[in-house]
């Protein structure tokens, strides 16, 4: 039994209190797939802040600090402008806010592609400065050597194949991958290559469903789908997309709520009360004794 720190919302939003921790581990995630099958699918969502991690943690097996934060948090046009410092800052916040899930941090564009040595320098910094359990990087066969280099040095790696957003310029857009037989074969080969290199799991994104099913059946590691198939070993979504924070989302997103609408309505009510001088009221002000 060890301890971690989480935010105690019963007292102060920023007051750290020790809490018992029994966090899932990377080997535990791997063991969920046994003899090629996963009885209970793995649940993964993105998280970027400590409070968001608190709310999601009990429901997830893994929390992904995705480079999608570039668009979701910072309003950037793509993930390509995300920096290592940004990923570390948000990764540390998510680790502080969670105690159950395996926290995986994306390696940003330009932080790992040049060489295995460059990747190790970036990954070891992420691990040391955030306390996360693993890193994620995009690419299949081209990244197999790097994945092997990292895993041999004690850094667990989650791979990412299919539609890889960091390569959007080379891919020519965000359309589904695998519509040709050649592309189908490449995605399967990419998935097998990262599994053979030692990745503990692989995300497959934006592919036609038969590819996702075939990949899930052909590798021993868990395959996490996003825009793939319910027959994958698990699923991941960008939390803000799932909560309905944005009007436009990818086809593969199911909106489970309308948080954008709730925020808009609540802000309108607040503005109305401020302008009418009905807020703050007696309950929100300090009176002399």
Active site residues per annotation: 205
Please give the span between the terminal C-alpha atoms of the chain, in angstroms, as a whole number.
48
CB 94 within 8 A of CB 86: no
Q: How far apart are CA 140 and CA 161, in angstroms?
A: 6
CB 28 within 8 A of CB 68: no
- Which region holds residue 251: left if phi is over 0, alpha if psi is between -120 and 50, else beta? alpha
CB 30 within 8 A of CB 221: yes
Q: How far apart are CA 244 and CA 216, in angstroms?
A: 29
Q: What is the DSSP letter of 207?
A: B
Q: Report, in angstroms and rounded to the nearest whole number, the Rg of the chain calculated over CA atoms.
A: 21
| Contacting residues for 7 by C-beta, under 8 A, at least 6 apart | 13, 14, 15, 16, 50, 51, 54, 96, 97
CB 236 within 8 A of CB 248: no
């Amino acid at each position: 039994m060890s301890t971690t720190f989480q935010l105690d919302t019963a007292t102060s939003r920023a007051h750290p209190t020790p809490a018992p921790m029994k966090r899932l581990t990377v080997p535990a995630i791997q063991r969920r797939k046994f003899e090629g099958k996963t009885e209970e699918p793995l649940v993964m969502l993105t998280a970027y802040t400590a409070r968001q991690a608190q709310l999601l943690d009990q429901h997830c097996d893994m929390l992904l600090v995705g480079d999608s934060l570039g668009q979701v948090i910072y309003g950037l046009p793509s993930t390509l402008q995300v920096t290592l410092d940004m990923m570390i800052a948000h990764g540390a916040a998510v680790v502080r806010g969670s105690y159950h899930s395996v926290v995986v941090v994306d390696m940003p564009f330009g932080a790992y592609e040049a060489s295995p040595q460059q990747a190790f320098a970036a990954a070891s910094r992420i691990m040391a400065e955030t306390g996360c359990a693993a890193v994620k990087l995009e690419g299949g066969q081209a990244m197999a050597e790097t994945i092997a280099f990292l895993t041999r040095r004690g850094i667990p790696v989650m791979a990412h194949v299919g539609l890889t957003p960091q390569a959007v310029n080379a891919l020519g857009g965000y359309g589904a991958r695998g519509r040709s037989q050649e592309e189908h074969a490449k995605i399967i080969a990419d998935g097998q290559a990262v599994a053979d290199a030692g990745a503990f799991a692989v995300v497959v994104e934006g592919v036609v469903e038969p590819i996702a099913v075939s990949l899930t059946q052909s590798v021993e590691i868990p395959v996490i789908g996003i825009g793939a198939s319910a027959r994958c070993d698990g699923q991941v979504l960008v939390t803000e997309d799932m909560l309905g924070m944005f009007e436009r989302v990818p086809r593969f997103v199911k909106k489970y709520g309308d948080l954008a609408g709730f925020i808009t309505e609540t802000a309108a009510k607040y503005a109305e009360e401020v302008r009418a001088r009905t807020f703050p009221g007696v309950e929100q002000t300090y009176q002399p004794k």
